[in-house]
Structure 1
Amino acid sequence: MRTILSGLGLVLVLVGAVAAQVNAPSVFTYTFGQGNGEGKSAASKLENQIGIGLLNQFPCVDQMDFDSAVSILDLERKRQLLTGEPNDDLLQNIASSIGATYLIVIKTIPMGDGKTFISIKVLDTRTGRAVANRVGDPASGNALLDVVNSLTNQILQDLASLLKGRCTPRWSGTITLEYKYETKEEKTETFPGGDKSKNTRSYISLWRTENFIHAMLNSREGEDPNRAKAVVVHRFTHRDEHIVNENEAAWCRPKAGNSFWKRLSNRQSDIGDEQGEARSNETVWVNIDKTNGTFTISVKYPAVTTTSHREITATGIACFDAKPSSAISNGEGSPESGAYTIEGIEKISGEIDPKNPDVLVGHKTTGDKTSGIHTVTWNLRLLKPKSSR
């Protein structure tokens, strides 16, 4: 559940606990440890223990890992989250954008005497006010572990008043669809040059296409458990590069002087980029056939409007005063991307694990390097009250 970025241990947990209210509360946890490894380890341990405690105490709890939740952020918010140390206002904005009601911020700070100071607070993203604030005494070694355990118990008690309540069964989790295609062609031609050496011309062409769709389920209380709400993000990127390098002999004649053979080089490049992103709220259907022991998941995803950028350059080739050239064009969409950027519905089928029918986990990979690799990954869990287990 932990990702290390820019020297910070970052963890994103989305917890949805269905309470006796229309909008169920959810929690976004941002954890980072500064300084030595002991501080980072303590922050990670505290985050993990809180996650386990929430799962044990509240059966209707969603916990999403960092990568899954970050996947639904727009590019600007993602950049802000992954660079530097976000302040509380930015974290609240991000937490609210992914549907979190509460923001938990865990910080560890190294002290000069080798001890670590830990603080943890819970903010209501709707009001910006702190609803819980706990700190531990600076400690190290086993004493630091005692502080982590104490803070875990304290914050779980604080969260209990916010998250307690009854809930109805609902599906939680993520679905990811990925298509990747990449190919590279290289060729070199040689032929006699006028200076009795060889002229060369090399060609390099690269095509890379990625289509990414990510759905994060976020159903609320009272809804049909087989009909889950989800935030769905659809991203498309494509790049093609075509480069020609030439080295040839030319018979050059200066204005005043004798003619001579000269080796001339030229580089021509044609590079195009296309990208786009769309985000929408969709319905994910989860149908369970207990008779046959099978399931079907259907997820709809939005269309993407892309922008394109192409630049063509050449260093120029001439005996004297070669002049480089360039041309740039921008636009929207392309015939090549149309098959990937349209909206659609993906259907996933499989067999239920009879020992764990409330968990649907798996992945399927189709295609090859020639046509591209298509990977579907799903990780869903049916959240139910303890009385239903």
Structure 2
Amino acid sequence: MTVNIMQLRFFIEVAKHQTISKAADQLFRTQSAVTRGILQLEQQLNVTLFERHHQGVLLSDAGRFILPRVQNGLAHLQNITLHLKHHGESSLYSTGQSEPFFLYNYQRLQIFFTLCLTKNMKSTAQLLGLTQPAISAAIKLLEQSFGVELFERTVQGLKPSLSCQLIQKQVQLCLNELKPLYDELLTFHGQLQGTVHIGALPLIRAEVLPHVMGQMTTEHPAIRFVTYESAYEILSAQLRVGDIDFIIGAIRPDQGSADFSQHLLFSEDMVIVMGRQHPLLNQAIEQIRLNDLLNYAWILPRAYSPARELIQKSFAQLGLKAPNPTIETGDQTLIRGLLQSSSLLAIVSYSQMRQEVDEGQLVQLPITLPNTHRQIGISYRKHAILSHAAQLFLDSLLNSSRTS
């Protein structure tokens, strides 16, 4: 179910002025149009947003509950012109009407966002069940309203302009902010549900994340989880536009930027592991030295990743040349399988393979790699309003890390 964005704009203005008449004046609409829009929104959401009085209207408890999320969502649309100005993009709209009413249309936003993804008019029309002239007309209206070119036509297809990319980010943030609205209202009425979107880096998948998710699905069966196992660069881009709620894993330097808040969960060192069948284990494990390992094939984290840089510096500190890996991966399942079936060695974070070592499937060598200490944490957007399901997950994760 999709909510009517213009009706949400009515809701914000009526909440601000507490009278339909003042809200209608500010919105350049008739009182009857605003009244009708609010009633339709209440019917669609199945909730009473205002208590009616002879002197005006007051927000209901449910109205107060969702107002910050609605304001946050629509603010992304209202701030688009400021972003265009900041990046030096010309905008005829900036000298015209004071509010982007032309953006308060879900289908228009959906057309724009889908075209940004497909970069093809025909594909967009087929995906949305519309005609190509309808797609073209919607984009033309946006271009005329903003006074900018959104797409450049090339032989490879449509190429989004810088203005288009700036607008796309704000539209994504708006739609993602409004997405949990129905689940949040059900939560308000005592039915806790929702979906938590988690970007999970390799270091967190082995222990902490499964424990917290498993506990929550038992205690709150209506909460769903979706995990994303991509490279950090992809996950951070998804987090910035609100496609995911969190990134969990090794903390990167830029995660302390103006965009993200972060919480430390635990810290650990990197260790060297091998399979039980490794030929080096024909001798006492205490006799194995780091130099003995350098002639074997290695599994290491991907090049230029923070973990790989730590390994490079650690070997340099020891006066040794870091091994040149045969395989570069952070995939726990792949690393485990390779170690159990070959003479490969791997350097991993301790928690990544702790269970396999404890169960005797793999062997951890008693060799210390200096200065490979890593901080493991959770990051999320500073100005996001977390859904109640996401907030509960965050609280559970932090509590779990304190007690472990």
TM-score, length of structure 2 as denominator length: 0.20
Higher helix share: 2
Q: Which has the higher contact order (CA 8 A, sep 6+)?
A: 2
TM-score, length of structure 1 as denominator length: 0.20
Higher strand share: 1
Q: Which has the larger radius of gyration?
A: 1
